[in-house]
Amino acid sequence: MDIAQLFGFIGALVVGLVLGLTGGGGSILTVPILVYLLMLNPVTATAYSLFIVGVSSSFGAFKNFQKGLVDLKIAAVFAIPAFSMVYITRKFIIPAIPESIFHIGSFVVTKDIFIMVMFAIMMVVASVSMLKPSKDKHHDNGPRKLSNILIFNQAIVIGFFTGIVGAGGGFIIIPALIILGNLTMKKAVGTSLFIIAINSLIGFIGDIGNVEIDWVFLLSFTAIAVVGIFLGSYLSNYIPGKKLKKGFGWFVLAMGVYIIIKELVM
């Protein structure tokens, strides 16, 4: 094992730790670790990320389901269009994107650059969400008609971006579930993990046949991330998650800006 691989597997542990400590956000590090440390191409990295995110989220979703914090009805309305779009994106749209998309003078925007810039933009948006104070603005004002059409439309959009960048998108899903689905913050988090797990794993299925998969490496990386989740969950009893999440938000913002500069300028 060389130094890059060692740091890559340490990165897998960090991904799990952040997920376990903050309840989300760690998966946003998976693609940069796979691309910049382990030198995988972005298409393969986003495919692997979907599997890692899917398995990791499954553990969190199961724990929340046991606590009654997963709304299966809302999850179905959201997940069915979302995972359908993720699958379509990974199976048909990603392979259809040409290797060279367009030129700006002598600069060529390639498929790999496009994916990484899209990912970096999502990192910046995610960091803003992490840096905002998290408040449960839900108030129980009695029954309210669910915005099923709006949930469906937003699920399609989120499914597309999840398929492109290989990240769960919980920072987008949670506000949608609160505003459109009338869920409390705790139920939105649990339901979001359930949706992310389904979206990611079905999206990964769309990659089978299109991407060469090193199962030994992928399962090893995922196993280390899962160990990190359990370790992070234990440490969360002693470390204030809100402060950690804010610091991580600034780190993600810096990473997103760095990736944009690296891909477009360097």
- Range ranked top by mean pLDDT from 20-29, 85-94, 128-137, 153-162: 85-94
pLDDT > 80? residue 25: no
Q: Give the Cα separation of 260 and 266 in Å (integer).
A: 9
pTM for the model: 0.81
Sorting pLDDT into bands at 50, 70 and 90, what band is 92? Answer: very high
pLDDT in tens, 8-20: 889 899 888 877 7
- Lowest mean per-residue pLDDT among 64-68, 180-184, 209-213, 223-227: 180-184
Give the closest residue to 162 by CA, choosing from 173, 151, 153: 173
pLDDT > 80? residue 53: yes
Average pLDDT, the chain: 84
- Lowest mean per-residue pLDDT among 35-49, 67-81, 130-144, 238-252: 130-144
- Lowest mean per-residue pLDDT among 39-53, 154-168, 170-184, 246-260: 170-184
Question: What's the pLDDT score for residue 141?
Answer: 45
The two tokens of residue 228 are 């990190």
Q: What is the mean pLDDT of residues 155-176?
A: 81
pLDDT > 60? residue 138: no
pLDDT > 60? residue 145: no
Task: For 115-152, give one letter per residue: b (16+ CB within 10 A) or e.
Answer: bbbebbebbbbbbebbeeeeeeebeeeeeeeebeeebe
Q: Give the Cα separation of 48 and 6 in Å (integer).
A: 18
Q: Give the Cα separation of 13 and 33 in Å (integer).
A: 11
Sorting pLDDT into bands at 50, 70 and 90, what band is 150? Answer: confident
Q: Give the Cα separation of 155 and 162 in Å (integer).
A: 10
